[in-house]
Chain A
Amino acid sequence: MIAGILSVIGAAICLVFGLIFPWMKVPIIVGLCYGLAALGVAVLMRAGQVSFGHAMYSCIAGYTVAFFARAYPALDGLLLVAAGVVAAVVAGAIIGLFVVRYREIFFGMLNLALSMVLYSVLGKFYEITGGTDGLRLERPPFAGFHFDRSGYETALLVTALLASLVLGALVQRYFGSAAGEALAGIKTNETRLEYLGMSARRILWSGYMISAALCGLAGALVVLLQGLVTPELGYWVRSGEFVFIAILGGSAHALGAFIGAVVFQVIQLVGTMLLAGTWKMLLGATLILVILVAPTGITGVLPIKRWGKSREPKISLQPIAGER
């Protein structure tokens, strides 16, 4: 309940700030997209697997949006986003089939390798993908309206906020459902899960597709905002940033990804505006601090019991009455 109220208040604050200070719309939308992508990574982190290549789904969605927008300029922005997400999910389904056989470091590395293959291919085939310059797209109509730049950004802001609220709530429900608990079971003890009659691979595969969809949505929105997609969207450092935000926020609650995104954006803003050119240092220092002090992230540290059902089993050191 509290998480829900907090989310809505947060969304309202974002909207108000975006309207009062027009320059803030872009960083807020970008922050929300980072949050969505980190949510995708957090879904997999629930299963104890960290993917270092999920930026490739943002990239796939982004390029899909760009291809369609250039081929059919009259297509509505919402349709483009849908197309991007579908592409990301399809890719996630296909790639997921292979990738879910791996665990731990190898899972991460295979995802990394695949994202680097995509990155290299996109950067090289100049004729088709625009190479390292990327692809530009003109501002499409959005929800049936032809906005000017300012209205377009507002429309994207509203869309991003709605998407974040709805998807955050849905993912949190997913975590609480049987499928979500099974996903967490992969982390705790996969063998036991298999003995219960569930296919760990299939569970992980469905979680993978969900995470691909979330990353894809983030990528599609960002590309619509910028009007440009470059292979950099799929670079491994971008995936690392998603993981960073997911860790920062913690995977205990869906809201964590967005809290992490807010902190991330603040650090970036402070780093670029106040201490010019040191934002990477601040990011790195924060990451190290979080891992040393609070490896379960912000939501792992806050009293999450009051936010929903407790996830961590209580280990009691008291002997059961009657035993020695």
Chain B
Amino acid sequence: MNLDLLPLALADGFSYAGLLFLVALGLTLIFGVMGILNVAHGAMYAFGGYAAASLVQAIVNRGGEVPSVVLVLALFVAAIVVGVVLGCLLEIGLLRRVQDKDPVLQLLITFGAFLILDDVQLLIWGGTPYSASEITGRLGTIELFGATFTAYQLVFIPLVALLAYGTLQYFLRYTRVGRQVVAVTHNAEVATALGIHAKRIRLVTFIVGAILGALGGALSVPNTSLVPGVGTDMIVLSFSVVATAGLGQITGALIAALMIGMARSLAVYTFPEFEVVVPYLIMVLVLLIRPYGLFTVAQARKI
């Protein structure tokens, strides 16, 4: 591979990383606040995507001239609805009951929820592929470094990812609810003693995390297609980002997503056979050297 292909590889990696970051962000947020590694996050991704595809198709089928803004908004609407509905269902119905149990049991309960949701998804939407490529076509293309990219993939997705990151950081640092979330993350007991409604905070956080996961799925639909199994693949991929970054690290997740995204697209240009291995290889290497992730802050151990 010659060096003038490098900018292309980076551009590809950039857009891939954007999507990965959105999904990983939701996962790491939930872990940070609730201490639960949510396996059902993959189902959020899948449901968000399928719901978005169905919504867009329904709007397009109604006929008439539909402005692109409406279609793009439909993606967000679908993601929010899915996030709220599934988030509430899971948090209130399931996670509250296992709050004080072993973290492994909490993880397994989300695995059980994931299995159920996987079948529900098959029942609702069936086995055929879903996509919404009309949106990508409408947003046009961009010429960069001698190759043509779709504006949707190159600009829109990374933009949304960065926006989500910025909004979340602002939310956590400068709003009251956000600060309460940080407090609950550090020490739920003390936060409750100080009058923070930890239960409600947890619910809000879970819903936000679920929306982010669903948004990842919804945004992937115009560019690719959804088939049964995307949730299962996405969950391990986002695990690799989250574990590499350190559980609960938001900025770390951004950097890790970029790292993995770039590494993967570089692999396609240099050693294409390694493309699928790269994210997990990075995860293993990072975990072997720094078991708690790249960006974890040392925490005092309570005995």
Direct contact of A and B (CB under 8 A): yes
A238 to chain B, nearest CB (A): 11
> Is the C-beta of A114 less than 8 angstroms from some C-beta in chain B?
yes
At the interface, yes or no: A227 with Cβ under 8 Å from chain B?
no
* Structural contact, A243 and B108, CB atoms closer than 8 A: yes
- 8 Å CB contact of B104 from A101, A108, A278, A279: A108
Instruction: Decide if A106 touches B284 in the complex (CB within 8 Å).
Output: no
Q: In the complex, which residues of chain A have a beta carbon less than 8 angstroms from the beta carbon of B102?
A: 295
Complex CA distance for A237 and B288, rounded to whole angstroms: 23
Query: Does B189 touch A at the CB level, under 8 Å?
Result: no
A114-B284 in contact (CB<8A): yes
- Chain A window 121-163, contacts with chain B (Cβ cutoff 8 Å), 1 for yes, 0 for no: 1011100000000000000000000000000000000000000
Contact assessment for A292 and B98 in the assembled complex, using a CB-CB cutoff below 8 Å: yes
In the complex, A184 Cα to B45 Cα: how many Å?
38
Nearest A-chain residue to B35, judged by Cβ: A105
Q: Taking CB as reference atom, which chain B residue is nearest A237?
A: B232
| A104 located at the interface, meaning its Cβ lies under 8 Å from any Cβ of chain B in the complex | yes
Given contacts A105-B107, A285-B112, A288-B109, contact A120 B37 (CB under 8 A): no
- Using a CB–CB cutoff of 8 Å, the interface residues on chain A facing chain B are 50, 98, 101-102, 104-106, 108-110, 112-114, 116-117, 120-121, 123-125, 236-237, 240, 243-244, 247, 277-281, 283-288, 291-292, 295
Q: Is the CB of A105 within 8 A of B116?
A: no
Answer whether A240 and B277 are a contact pair too, CB < 8 Å, given A105-B37, A113-B240, A113-B243.
no
Residue B287 interfacial (CB < 8 Å): yes
Give, as a whole number of angstroms, the nearest-CB distance from A271 to chain B. Answer: 9
Query: Could you tell me the distance between the alpha carbons of A114 and B104 in the complex, rounded to whole angstroms?
Result: 19
What are 22 pairs between A and B in contact, CB < 8 Å? A102-B291, A106-B291, A109-B287, A112-B239, A113-B243, A113-B280, A113-B284, A116-B280, A120-B276, A243-B111, A244-B111, A247-B105, A281-B115, A281-B119, A284-B112, A284-B113, A284-B115, A291-B109, A291-B112, A292-B109, A295-B101, A295-B102
Contact A113 B283 (CB under 8 A): yes
- Specify which chain B residues have a CB less than 8 angstroms from the CB of A295 in the assembled complex: 101-102, 105
A285 and chain B: residue at smallest CB distance: B116
B103 beta carbon closer than 8 Å to chain A: yes
The digit string for B77-92, where 1 denotes a CB below 8 A from any CB of A, is: 0000000000000000
Contacts of B118 in A (CB 8 A): 280, 284
Which residues of chain B have C-beta atoms less than 8 A from A50's C-beta? Answer: 104, 108
B interface size (C-beta, 8 A): 43
In the complex, the answer to whether A244 meets B232 with C-beta atoms within 8 Å is: no
Of A105, A124, A236, A292, the residue contacting B97 (CB under 8 A) is: A292
Query: Would you call A105 and B280 a contact (CB within 8 A)?
Result: no
Task: Tell whether, in the assembled complex, residue B119 and residue A277 are in contact, meaning their CB atoms are under 8 Å apart.
Answer: yes
Chain B residues within an 8 Å CB radius of A279: 119
Q: Is B147 an interface residue (CB 8 A)?
A: no
Contact B116 A291 (CB under 8 A): no
Which residues of B lie under 8 Å from residue A116 when comparing CB positions?
Answer: 236, 240, 280, 283
Answer whether A283 and B115 are a contact pair too, CB < 8 Å, given A101-B291, A104-B104, A105-B103. Answer: yes
Could you tell me the distance between the alpha carbons of A294 and B120 in the complex, rounded to whole angstroms? Answer: 25
| Contact of A281 with B116 in the complex, beta carbons under 8 Å | yes
| B124 proximal to A (CB < 8 A) | no
Residues of the B chain whose Cβ atoms lie less than 8 Å from the Cβ of A121: 277
Q: A-B pairs with the 4 shortest C-beta distances?
A: A284-B115, A287-B112, A284-B116, A281-B119
Bound CA–CA A195/B60 (angstroms) = 69
Given contacts A113-B287, A117-B281, A287-B109, whether A280 and B98 have CB atoms under 8 Å apart is: no
Which residues of chain A have C-beta atoms less than 8 A from B277's C-beta? 117, 120-121, 124
Judging by beta carbons under 8 Å apart, are A291 and B98 in contact?
A: yes
B122 contacts A by Cβ under 8 Å: yes
The listed residue (B98, B105, B109, B243) touching A109 by CB distance below 8 A is: B243
Q: Which of A105, A110, A291 contacts B284 (CB 8 A)?
A: A110
Give the residues in chain B near A108, CB-CB below 8 Å.
104, 107
Contact B108 A287 (CB under 8 A): yes
A101–B292 alpha-carbon span in the complex (Å): 12
Closest A residue, CB atoms, query B281: A117
Contacts of A98 in B (CB 8 A): 288
A314 vs B30: C-alpha distance when bound (angstroms) = 37
Contact in complex: A117, B273 (CB < 8 Å): no
State in angstroms the CA–CA spacing of A236 and B111 once bound together: 11
Which residues of B sit under 8 angstroms from A243, Cβ to Cβ?
108, 111
Q: CB distance A288 to B94 under 8 Å?
A: yes
B145 close to chain A: CB less than 8 A: no
Report the Cα distance A292→B105, complex, angstroms: 9
- Give residues 108-158 of B contacting A (CB, 8 Å): 108-109, 111-120, 122-123
- A106 — which chain B residues lie within 8 A by C-beta? 243, 287, 291-292
Given contacts A116-B283, A117-B281, 16 further A-B contacts (CB under 8 A): A98-B288, A104-B103, A104-B104, A105-B103, A105-B104, A106-B243, A110-B288, A114-B280, A125-B273, A277-B119, A277-B122, A279-B119, A284-B114, A287-B111, A291-B112, A295-B101
A240 touches B111 (CB 8 A): yes
Residues of B within 8 A of A288 (CB): 94, 109, 112-113, 116
Please report which residues of chain B, range 212-245, place their CB below 8 angstroms from some CB of chain A when the two chains form the complex: 232, 236, 239-240, 243
B17 close to chain A: CB less than 8 A: no
Known contacts A102-B291, A113-B284, A288-B112; is-contact A124 B104 (Cβ 8 Å): no
Of the candidates A108, A112, A277, A279, the one having the most CB atoms from chain B within 10 angstroms of its own CB is A112
Which listed residue, A110, A112, A236, A278, touches B119 by the CB 8 Å rule?
A: A278
A117 to chain B, nearest CB (A): 4
